[in-house]
Amino acid sequence: MNVNARKPIPKNPAPNKLPHAPIPPGSGININPTFRPTPNISSLTNKIIAAIPDAIVAVDLEQLIIAINPAFTKLWGYSFGEVKGKSIRILFEKNERQTSHDPLLWTAAGEAGDENLFSRVYRRKDGTLFRGETNGSPIKDYHGNIIGYLGITRMDQFHQMRTLLQTNDALLTLTFEKATDPIVWIDPTTGFISNCNQAMAQLLKTGKDEIIGKRQMTLFSKSRQSDLEELLEKPIGSPSMESEIINSVGEKIPVRISASVFMFHKQTTIQCICHDLSIIKKAEQAITEANSTLEKKIRERTAELEKTNIALNILIKKGDESRKELAGEILDDIRELIDPYLHKLDRTDLSQSQRKYLQTISKTLDELSSPFIRAISTAIRQLTPTETKVAALIMQGKKSKDIADEINISPWTVDVHRRNIRKKCGFTNNRVNLRSALTSLMK
């Protein structure tokens, strides 16, 4: 068998064209628009190329771009229409183009008959740079002739990680500097302050250079240094605590401190965030003082009211005594002025009914002027005159029938008056003897 024999040439070959399935414009390789494979193969090829996560670019022998995949657009930012027919050199950083390792390296790789992996700095459409690893290889036709070159590029993993770390460090530094709460970073191995933000410098009324490099304990009074020691012994999972720090002029500032551990530039760092409690403490003190002042005023006002209440009770008592005296004087005057006329009237020729009325008037005046009746009316002010008479007779030990005959009412009416007297005097227990209860009120 002749190993050097030429390969059979297929019918109607497409010279100098790639036997790849066409890919939709702007997203895939479309070097040979005249090549028409079966629909299933074309669809599958397009899907495979579109799914490859690495950026793919194909160039012809003149280093002009003839195809890309979607990952290329995502990495460089160019659409197929923006790079079609342009030199591959537009993808490289300017200084890279001036080195001996320019895009012609793909040509060299192809001429050597093998693949070549190299790392270069590339420039995106927006001007940003990135380092990528590119695998270059030649594209050959059915006869083995090189008709172009294919480059598969991905971001350099080490460079990508370093860029990410640099970005994270930059964000951390920006957040650290712009934080409104004072923050210090402490080296746990030495106990020295490795960094602080501007808020901490303002709180301590000094410059950052005066804080960085000092021992952490210099921020605290000797009586409160144990607070920080306790917090730094277990910064992870420990609750925040209240303490005091001292500024450059010797003022004690109440703060709430929370600590955490993180890695910065491969070094373990303890971050202490100090939330200034000065405003809160002043507000609490103002509230305490206001409450104290209010309680003092309440006590003073209560004492004044007690004095006023005592004075009012004295006045009421004197008023009651004066009213009793006045009532007695009035009744005495009435008896003195009216009794003579009643006696004269009694000696005149009166009818039986008139004499009965006269007796009733005389008896009523006797009752009203009685000290006993006055005492009842004073002790139980809400009783009516008739109820007062009934109460007086009850206290004398008289039964309902006797009371009814004496004041000329029915026994049923006497029972009604008894119930009213109990209700007005607060005798809710019917088993309590009414006479005894009324007697207790008179004592």
CATH architecture for residues 39-155: 2-Layer Sandwich (3.30)
CATH topology of 39-155 equal to that of 163-276?
yes
CB neighbour list of residue 282: distance below 8 Å, 6 or more residues apart: none
Q: Give the containing element (helix H, strand E) for 331.
A: helix 278-346
Strand partners of residue 65: 59
Question: 133-180 pLDDT, tens per residue?
Answer: 888 888 888 888 988 888 889 887 655 566 665 666 677 677 787 888
Residue 3 has pLDDT above 70, yes or no: no
Dist CA 95 CA 218 (whole Å): 52
pLDDT at position 18 is 40
Domain boundaries, the chain: 39-155, 163-276, 320-442
Residue 132 has pLDDT above 70, yes or no: yes
Work out the average pLDDT over 287-297: 89
Query: What end-to-end distance do the CA atoms of the chain give, in Å?
Result: 148
Dist CA 21 CA 34 (whole Å): 10
Residue 62, both tokens: 């003149």
Question: 75-107 pLDDT, tens per residue?
Answer: 999 999 999 999 998 998 876 544 444 544 555
Contact 155, 130 (CB under 8 A): yes
Burial of 62 (0-12, 13-18, 19+ CB in 10 A): exposed
Dist CA 193 CA 138 (whole Å): 58
Residue 19 has pLDDT above 90, yes or no: no
Side chain identity at residue 424, one-letter code? K
Dist CA 286 CA 280 (whole Å): 10
For domain 163-276, give the fold.
Answer: Beta-Lactamase (3.30.450)
Give Cα separations from 121 to 71, 131, 137, 260, 261 (angstroms).
18, 4, 19, 38, 36
- Neighbouring CB atoms inside 10 A of 74's CB total 10
CB neighbour list of residue 197: distance below 8 Å, 6 or more residues apart: 176, 177, 178, 179, 182, 183
- Neighbouring CB atoms inside 10 A of 187's CB total 15
User: For 165, phi and psi rounded to 5 degrees?
Assistant: -65, -40
pLDDT at position 64 is 92
Contact 88, 57 (CB under 8 A): yes
Q: Give the containing element (helix H, strand E) for 227.
A: helix 225-233
Residue 260, both tokens: 């955490």
Contact 264, 241 (CB under 8 A): no
Contact 322, 359 (CB under 8 A): no
Residue appearing with tokens 């006497």 = 414
pLDDT at position 25 is 43
- Neighbouring CB atoms inside 10 A of 418's CB total 18
User: For 77, phi and psi rounded to 5 degrees?
Assistant: 90, -5
Mean confidence (pLDDT) of the chain: 75
Is the entire prediction scored with pTM above 0.75?
no
Work out the average pLDDT over 67-77: 92
Tell me the pLDDT band of 73, cut-offs 50, 70 and 90: very high
Tell me the pLDDT band of 16, cut-offs 50, 70 and 90: very low
Residue 61 has pLDDT above 70, yes or no: yes
